[in-house]
């Protein structure tokens, strides 16, 4: 059975951190420098008492209201997060209860970052194709700013918190095509929070600062910028080509390319390297930042609202893991 995206909504925390506020903390930067380089003017950040489940519930409730969706018809919940409420139980189970979804519905978490939405679509499509479910609620929810050291000016300019809710069903406005997926765990240490899991359960308290004043700690997010940039340039162009091949399409057949919204510098570099016209390449991070697994669904909803989500739409997610994935949506 064919699977479709039927509805998308998203939720942003109320607290906003502007470039001006960051420049007050890091006066060596300017508002213009941050905005021009990474294409972000502000980002939304959770309060101390907000968790992934809180954002997930608010995104889903917004979806139900905006589209008149009957929650009793949801028969599977997929939750993508790398900032779960607990080690156990699965945050998806907490969200199922808070949303009042049927107890006959399946629910599970999966741990992926910037490729997570594409992987979630692949899981949802499989559930529908197998007849296991007919209405899959896919939620991406991250409180990534909790992973950042307060003095980490680079990552604090990039990342924002958010959640997005997508209903995948047996009908909808965009059919879900064939996928190209990939993994290379050799890059795991280049984007990592080392402590807090079972490998290193205790905090390391090993904070140091490099010659530029950037913090390095096993207890916070570490991102090796150069290695991540190189991985992106190596992985994404073949991902786009393979996704096109799997869907029997050419680059010229694509009406809109919606990539993971990493930052404007990387996105523009990729666009030029792959040879995508700028009017077919969607940017959506100025007011929200890099929201990890939620960047693509937020961009899709914005493109839909702007009336430019039409024809064949190619999605490409890539990041922590390393992990990458692509798919083509075809709108009705």
Q: How many CB atoms lie within 10 A of CB 83?
A: 20
Q: How many CB atoms lie within 10 A of CB 161?
A: 28
Say yes or no: 73 and 122 in one domain.
yes
State the pLDDT at residue 36. 85
CATH code, domain carrying 12: 3.40.47.10
State the pLDDT at residue 37. 86
State the pLDDT at residue 213. 85
Whether 11 is in a domain gets the answer: yes
Mean pLDDT by 10 residues, the chain (332 residues): 97 96 89 87 96 98 98 98 97 98 98 98 98 98 96 94 98 98 97 95 93 90 93 97 98 98 96 97 97 98 97 98 98 90
Residues pairing with 209 in the sheet: 215
Enter the tokens of residue 328.
Answer: 């083509």
State the pLDDT at residue 244. 98
Q: Which residues are catalytic?
A: 114, 260, 290
- What does the alpha-carbon distance between residue 203 and residue 214 come to, in Å, rounded to a whole number? 19
Say yes or no: 235 and 326 in one domain.
yes
Q: What share of the chain is helix, strand, coil (3-state, %, to 5)?
A: 40, 25, 35
Q: How many CB atoms lie within 10 A of CB 332?
A: 9
Last residue of a domain, one of 142, 172, 202: 172
State the pLDDT at residue 212. 81
State the pLDDT at residue 117. 98
Q: What's the predicted TM-score (pTM) here?
A: 0.97
State the pLDDT at residue 29. 82
Say yes or no: 126 and 48 in one domain.
yes
Q: Are 233 and 319 in contact (CB under 8 A)?
A: no
Q: Give, for 5, the enclosing helix (H) or strand (E).
A: strand 4-11
Residue 162's domain spans which residues?
Answer: 4-172
Say yes or no: 10 and 143 in one domain.
yes
State the pLDDT at residue 160. 98
State the pLDDT at residue 204. 94
The total number of structural domains in the chain stands at 2
């Amino acid at each position: 059975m064919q699977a479709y995206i039927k509805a998308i909504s998203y939720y942003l925390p109320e607290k906003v951190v502007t470039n001006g506020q960051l420049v007050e903390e890091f006066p060596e930067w300017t508002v213009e420098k941050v905005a021009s380089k990474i294409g972000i003017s502000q980002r939304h950040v959770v309060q101390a008492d907000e968790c992934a489940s809180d954002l997930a519930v608010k995104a889903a409730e917004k979806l139900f209201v905006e589209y008149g969706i009957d929650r009793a018809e949801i028969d599977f919940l997929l939750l993508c997060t790398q900032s779960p409420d607990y080690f156990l139980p699965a945050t998806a189970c907490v969200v199922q209860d808070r949303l009042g979804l049927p107890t006959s519905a399946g629910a599970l978490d999966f741990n992926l970052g910037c490729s997570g939405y594409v992987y979630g679509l692949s899981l949802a499509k499989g559930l529908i194709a197998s007849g296991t479910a007919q209405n899959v609620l896919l939620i991406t929810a991250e409180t990534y700013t909790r992973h950042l050291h307060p003095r980490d000016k680079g990552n604090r300019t990039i990342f924002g918190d958010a959640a997005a809710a997508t209903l995948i069903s047996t009908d909808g406005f965009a059919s879900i095509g064939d996928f190209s997926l990939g993994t290379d765990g050799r890059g795991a240490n280049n984007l990592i929070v080392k402590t807090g899991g079972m490998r290193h359960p205790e905090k390391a308290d090993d904070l140091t600062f490099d010659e530029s004043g950037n913090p390095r700690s096993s207890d916070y997010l570490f991102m090796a910028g150069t290695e991540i940039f190189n991985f992106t340039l190596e992985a994404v162009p073949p991902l786009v080509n393979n996704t096109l091949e799997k869907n029997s399409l050419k680059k010229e057949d694509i009406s809109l390319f919606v990539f993971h919204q990493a930052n404007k510098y990387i996105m523009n570099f990729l666009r030029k390297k792959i040879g995508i016209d700028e009017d077919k390449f969607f940017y959506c991070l100025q007011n929200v930042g890099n929201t990890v697994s939620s960047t693509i669904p937020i961009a899709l909803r914005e493109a839909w609202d702007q009336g430019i989500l039409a024809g064949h739409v190619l999605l490409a997610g890539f990041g922590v893991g390393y992990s990458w994935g692509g798919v083509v949506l075809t709108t009705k």
